Amino acid sequence: MEEFFSFFESSSITATSAGDDATVVFTVPTKFEAEITLLLLSSGDTGSSDTNIQIKRGSTYSYLLRKFNLGANTSKNVLDGGSTLHLRAGDVIVAHRNANALDLSVSGKLIFREAE
């Protein structure tokens, strides 16, 4: 039987640049894999924001969401439709925006992999 732990992390996105300058939201711990079931963008500001979410694997960044315009005082689950994002130990979720207040919440389960 798999040993897993549920988790929830949330960060205010302050970064306005991609890659190493982006805000780190979540890092998959050593000896774990992650099944992400919620990536919730939330704007509590009066203006819209172009939002970007990247996955860092090793030294490579890949966009999960690029220049998504999130309206003022709205939210959006990036993983609509019951999608699951699978990440490996050491993978990192980062985000950046062009303006206005923005939060990114991540939830799912961490699966222990002793052999990793």
When pLDDT is averaged across residues 24-51 and rounded to a whole number, the result is 92
Give residue 44's pLDDT. Answer: 80
In which band, very low, low, confident or very high, does the pLDDT at 2 lie, cut at 50, 70 and 90? confident
Looking at residue 13, the DSSP 8-state letter turns out to be -
Nearest to 110 by CA among 4, 27, 23, 17: 4
Domain total of the chain: 1
CB 86 within 8 A of CB 28: no
pTM (2 d.p.): 0.92
Q: Which CATH number do you get for residue 35?
A: 2.60.120
Query: What residue numbers bound the domain in which 65 lies?
Result: 4-112
Q: Is 19 helix (H, G, I), strand (E, B) or coil?
A: helix
